[in-house]
Every structure is written in C-alpha cells, then in structure tokens.
Structure 1
Amino acid sequence: MSQFEYIFKYIIIGDMGVGKSCLLQQFTEKRFPEDQPHTIGIEFGTRVCEVNGKVIKLQIWDTAGQERFRAVTRSYYRGAAGAIMVYDITTRSSFNHLATWLTDARNHTNPSTVMMLIGNKLDMAKQREVSFEEADAFAKDNGLIYLEASAKTGQNVEEAFLRTARKIYENIQSGALDLNAAESGVVSNRTRSNRIKAGQTPTNASSCSC
C-alpha cells in the first residue's frame, strides 16, 4: 500500500507514564518496548493503512506528558485531524487530569478534530483504579470515542487508531471536515501532488505533509 489517498495528522496526549509512546510503537511497529524512556518533547511515527476502502497514511505525533514541555507540545495540536487522549486505568490521577488535557486539546485544535479516549494497560485490569463505566460516562459526556486497550498485548490498539481514522473519513465524506481549511489536519494526495508540481515544498508538521 505505497500509494495513499490521504494523510491524516494525529496527536497523542496525556500524563507522563500512561503508555503513549508504547501505544504508538505497538500500532506502527507491532512491538512493545519493555524499557521505554519518557518522551522528551515530541516523537513521531507513521503507518499506511486501509480505511473504508481508501489507502490512508496516518502521521502520528506523540507528545511529552511533563508540564515543562507543554508549551512545546501545544504547537503540535494545530492542524490535527485526530487527537488520542490516553490515561492509565491503574492510576487514578491520570484519569483525574483528563479534563485539563481535554480543555488544552479543544483550545488548540479545530472544532472538527476527532477525539479518541484510550484507557491503557488493560492487561493490568486487576489493578485498575478507574472503572470502565466511569470512563465511558466521561467520554459520553464530552463527545469522545472510548476504548480500553493494552499497548503490551496489542488488544484494541489497532481498533483505536483505525476507528479514529474512520470517523475522520466519515467527516470528509459528509462535508463536516473542509479539506481546503488550513487547520483540517488532512491532506489529499491529489492536493499534495499539485503543490509539488507547483514548486511548493511540504511545510511544517501542522500542515500534515510527509
């Protein structure tokens, strides 16, 4: 699947230690790093996949959870088609901080950005501090798509990223997402080819160009 029709830009946000980088690596590389260091600033991954019969490249920016990097990571919210917000089901504080992360995301993304909430570390469900029902209610109250997943086993990881992509594609088809808007977080391959032919080089990350 080398020829893709769209590029979708994602960001992953949430507290330090909830498993954001591990989710990214499980999705893009099908592996779980046993000793993953905390992200410093921003990390990046891509994967080409099929969504509703269309070949789509997901361009995923993994942001640091520490407060001292917040000013840097906020600049990557701009132009995100999808925002994946992660908490750790075994750590109550990471769930309690979701309201702050959600406010941050909504203040710096566009109204059509698709928001997915992932409760990570499902493989450690016996140690959970946050029930599925509580998180599901939070998601419904805030218009979020919600799944529990495990970066370690891979359970629901692919589904979380692809469900977000399917919703973005539905928004394109329905007209809810305007591809001509600079902040859409989506670039069609046709638009990208036209830019290259016109001598316009791909811009920064926020334009969702590869």
Structure 2
Amino acid sequence: MAFYSEEDGQSRGYLFKIVLIGDSAVGKSNLLARFARDEFYTNSKSTIGVEFQTQKMEIDGKEVKAQIWDTAGQERFKAVTSAYYRGAVGALVVYDISRSQTFDSIGRWLNELHTYSDMNVVTILVGNKTDLKDAREVSTEDGKALAEAHGLFFMETSALDNSNVTAAFQTIVKEIYDILSRKMIHSQEMITKDGSSLGSGRAVILKEDNDNEAAGISGFRCCSFG
C-alpha cells in the first residue's frame, strides 16, 4: 500500500514498499546495493532474514521514498513469507541471464507474488548480469516475450557495471506514483461540490509509453490500486 503523510492539510510525501524477488544468487542484493549505495560486492554471501533500504526521490516536486525489501537468502530454503509481500505496491522479479533455470522460475515467483499481495502490484521483470554476455542462456527476446505475456515491464541490467540499475528502480517508482496520482485525481473528481462521494474510483489503465520504448523499457502493465 502507498502512504502519504499530511501536515497542515498538505501532502508532504509518499512511501512505497517495493520487493525484490527471484532465485538465489541472481544478484538481487547487489542490485539494491548498487542503487542505494553505489556499491557492488564480488564475494557477497546470502544472509538469512529480511533487509531493506530506503531511497528518496523527487517527482513533480514531491518527495517519494522507496522502501526496497530484499529477501536476503530466504529463497534458498522455502517460499518467502507472506509478511514480506504485505503492503507492497511494486516488485522487481529478477533472473540471471546466464542461468536459464532462474528464468524458468519466474512463473513460480509471480504466482507467489499474486498469492500474497495485491494483483495490481506494479511489476518489472529484470534480466540481471548482462556483463556475462558470453555466458548468456536467456535471450533478450525471450525476456521481452515473457514480460509481455504476463503484462509486466521489462529491462536488462548489470549490477556489476551499473547498467540500467537506476533506470529500473526509477521506472517502477514513477509508475507507482503516476497510478496513485491519477487515482487521487479521479477520486477528487468523483466528489460533488457539497462534499458527498459519487462512488469509488475506477481502474486506471496504463498504456505503453513511447518514451519508455525509446529508452529500451518495455511496459505492458495495466492496473490500479484498489
């Protein structure tokens, strides 16, 4: 769920919970470390528990905080607990382009995401480790096809050389913000002049953005926060 705080009747900012999911060792922790601290750990080891980082962004003059959660090794032993997904409005589903089995697991991760969270979670499929181009087992075309089939955004990244990492996180945060903003505008339009509600907000449909396409970002998702 997205939250916004108010002081003196004015919105001061937003907090979005975003989760990282995918098989072990696909680079989720390094994606977060690169985005949050511009760091990369060559010999990073999985830890047990849940870790998160909060990053601030500014969109349309408003402060947006992305609280990004990492499974931190849980995925090696069992399905991530439902508490991990609770309140999430965004998800990065990550696979390793050099290990096809991690790509084959995407369907399972999407099922788990939809089981424990809102079906309208804004989701981006991320093919990580593009620096391992000589070891590639999953083509860009296959990644795009899977994303389109499930109505997801798609991007390939490398935490090692910092390719598209910031763009991936910024894309998902911006889409969450846009959906929330449109829903709030629509809700305001549904209130009569005397302050009585005319009804609940309807779905907000997001169509593919030409600017995103030009930047190499495929976007097929349509959804609303309900």
Give the alignment's TM-score, normalised by structure 2.
Answer: 0.73
Larger RCO, structures 1/2 (Cα 8 Å, 6+ apart): 1
Residues 11-61 of structure 1 show CA distances to partners (whole Å, capped at 9, x for unaligned) of 100000000000000000011112111131211111111234432111011
Q: In structure 1, how many angstroms separate the alpha carbons of the residues matched to 2:176 and 2:69?
A: 17
Q: Which has the higher helix share?
A: 1
Match of 1:34 in 2: 42
- Aligned mates of 2:176, 2:152 — CA distance in 1: 13
Rounded Cα–Cα distance in structure 2 between residues aligned with 1:34 and 1:55: 33
Amino acid in the other structure paired with 1:117: L
Runs of 4+ in 1 over 3 A off after TM superposition: 176-179
Aligned with residue 44 of structure 1, among 52, 57, 61: 52
What's 2:77 paired with?
68
- Cα pair 1:112 1:177 within 8 Å, conserved: no
Counterpart residue number, 1:145: 153
Cα deviation for residue 106 of structure 1 reads: 0.9
Q: Which residue of 2 aligns with 1:132?
A: 140
* Worse-superposed segment, 12-21 or 48-57: 48-57
Task: Give percent identity, aligned residues only.
Answer: 38
CA drift at 1:113: 1.0
Question: Which of 72, 82, 85 pairs up with 1:77?
Answer: 85
* RMSD value, Cα: 2.2
Say whether the 8 Å CA contact 2:36–2:53 is kept in structure 1: yes
Q: How many residues align?
A: 176
Instruction: Please tell me whether the aligned partners of residues 74 and 80 of structure 2 are also in contact (alpha carbons under 8 angstroms).
Output: no
Deviation at 1:4, TM superposition (A): 5.9
Q: 1:66 to 1:111 in 2, by over 3 A?
A: closer
Q: Distance in 2 between matches of 1:13 and 1:135?
A: 16
Where does residue 193 of structure 1 map in the other structure? none
Partner of 1:87: 95
Taking the aligned partners of 2:63 and 2:16, their CA distance within structure 1 comes to: 11
Which residue number in structure 2 is paired with residue 196 of structure 1?
none
CA radius of gyration, larger in: 2
User: Structure 1: how far apart are the matches of 2:151 and 2:184?
Assistant: 15
**Structure 1 residue 125: deviation in Å?**
1.5
Runs of 5+ consecutive residues of structure 1 not aligned to the other structure = 180-210
Contact 1:10–1:81 (8 Å) recurs in 2: yes
Aligned to 1:194: none
Q: What letter matches 1:135 in structure 2? A: G
Q: 2:183 aligns with which of 159, 163, 175?
A: 175
Letter in 2 for 1:126: D
Matched position secondary structure for 1:26? helix
Q: Give the corresponding residue for 1:108.
A: 116
Question: Counterpart in 2 of 1:158?
Answer: 166
Deviation of 1:114 after TM superposition, in Å, equals 0.4
Quickly say closer, same or farther: Cα 1:65–1:122, change in 2 above 3 A.
farther
